[in-house]
Amino acid sequence: MRIGVLFGGRSGEHEVSLASAAAVIHHLDPSRYEPVPILIGKDGRWSQPERPPTIVKASELIEHARFRAAGTVSNRQGGSLAQPTINEPSAMVQDLALDVIFPVLHGPYGEDGTVQGLLE
């Protein structure tokens, strides 16, 4: 099962979200789940690490995840999505072949149901 782990965000708790996402990714059973990290930058842009990192600490997430330029998100087949925005969450979920998204967002925009509503 491919699980999109959505983290970061525009709130002041951006770094807390990185630590939380690192814990989620670390604790997913790799024999059952494939984590697909998706970062929402402080500027609100969505991007995806070039490769899902093996994470133990938030500092490793920051150090090892080399994010593609904002505006492109790799899909499973190596293609890209033009203009991936929160206005097209269903298209991103389909293109990345995600089964579920696990939002790991804190503070405004993350705990107020905004993203959950978009994904629904």
- Percentage of residues in the chain having pLDDT higher than 70: 62
Q: Give dist(CA 32, CA 111) in Å, integer.
A: 27
- Cβ atoms of residues 7 and 38 within 8 Å: yes
Q: What's the pLDDT tens digit per position in 58-95?
A: 555 554 444 433 444 444 444 443 334 444 656 666 78
Q: Determine the pLDDT at residue 2.
A: 93
Query: Coil, helix or strand for 5?
Result: strand
DSSP class of residue 75 equals -
Mean pLDDT estimate for the chain:
72
CA 22 from chain centre, in angstroms, equals 11
- Among residues 90, 49, 53, 93, which one has the least CA distance to residue 72? 49
- Domain residue extents for the chain: 2-114
Q: Determine the pLDDT at residue 95.
A: 81
Q: Determine the pLDDT at residue 42.
A: 83
**Class of domain 2-114 (CATH, top level):** alpha beta
What burial class does residue 12 get, using C-beta atoms within 10 Å of its C-beta: 0-12 exposed, 13-18 middle, 19+ buried? exposed
Give how far Cα 101 sits from Cα of 12, 37, 38, 63, Å: 22, 10, 9, 23
Q: What's the pLDDT tens digit per position in 40-64?
A: 888 877 777 655 545 445 555 554 4
Q: Determine the pLDDT at residue 31.
A: 95
